[in-house]
Structure 1
């Protein structure tokens, strides 16, 4: 190589070194910035993630399954029709409760529940028994009646829902 070539390469080498140094400084800045931002994100989001995990764990621990108890035999009772006519109603009732303990309490007191439901339907009139539009109100009142009787016996309301799974009248 001639001295002219060495002189011509010298400015290129200088520019190359300057660019390389800038890249290294910029590159190390990017790495530092990335590490700082990542650490900041982890630091800020960790408490929220832990709080959600604790809430999820509490919800999972508190989940008690709904269980159903069939009142057997079906409720069969008479109601006052129009004039001297008497009608009858046959209702299959299921009671929804939370957990095995409450299911056992409903089973224990099922004769009391049956008696209460027979008395409840016996007090209803023809219009209430036969009109479909009044069926939901009748179901809610039956649930309230059974809940009140059970609350007297066990000291708390354990019924989640009372369902009519079969309903026949004449």
Structure 2
């Protein structure tokens, strides 16, 4: 019984140690960009984006590349139709596109994707 408890504690502590290695980078200020709405009107989106960095020591590297990453996110959102901007499933797809692009750019610039996840933590559209 003691062996099982010790094993569980070791597994839990290694899980928490792994989680402690992550860092979060938030784009400041929030991203605001236009998209093409129905009937050629312009709509806009204001969103907050956080990057989950796999190793906290890579925070400064990600921060250094923030302008490039921000531009890529703005370009992706600006190309989306209103139907995607306004739907939950569309937002998830946009988030995945942004995450893939950010990982691709970081891999190109640094040799590693550096981030685990891209998160939209706030999304306001008109």
Category of TM-score, reference length = shorter chain: 0.7 to 0.9
Measured in 2, the distance between the counterparts of 1:152 and 1:101 equals: 19
Is structure 2 residue 80 aligned with structure 1 residue 124?
A: yes
Name the structure with the higher helix share.
1
| Structure with the greater alpha carbon radius of gyration | 1
C-alpha deviations, 1:116-157, integer Å up to 9, x for none? 111111111101111122222221111001111111111111
Residue aligning to 1:145: 101
Measured in 2, the distance between the counterparts of 1:139 and 1:69 equals: 16
> What is the SS of the residue equivalent to 1:106?
helix
Residue aligning to 1:94: 50
How high is the TM-score relative to the length of structure 2? 0.82
Residue aligning to 2:65: 109
Pairwise CA distance, 1:99: 2.0
**Unaligned 5+ residue runs, structure 2?**
1-6
**Unaligned 5+ residue runs, structure 1?**
1-51
Spell out structure 1 runs of 4+ moving beyond 3 A: none
- Higher RCO by CA contacts (8 Å cutoff, separation 6 or greater): 2
Measured in 1, the distance between the counterparts of 2:55 and 2:35 equals: 35
Name the structure with the higher strand share.
2
**How many positions carry a matched residue from both structures?**
116
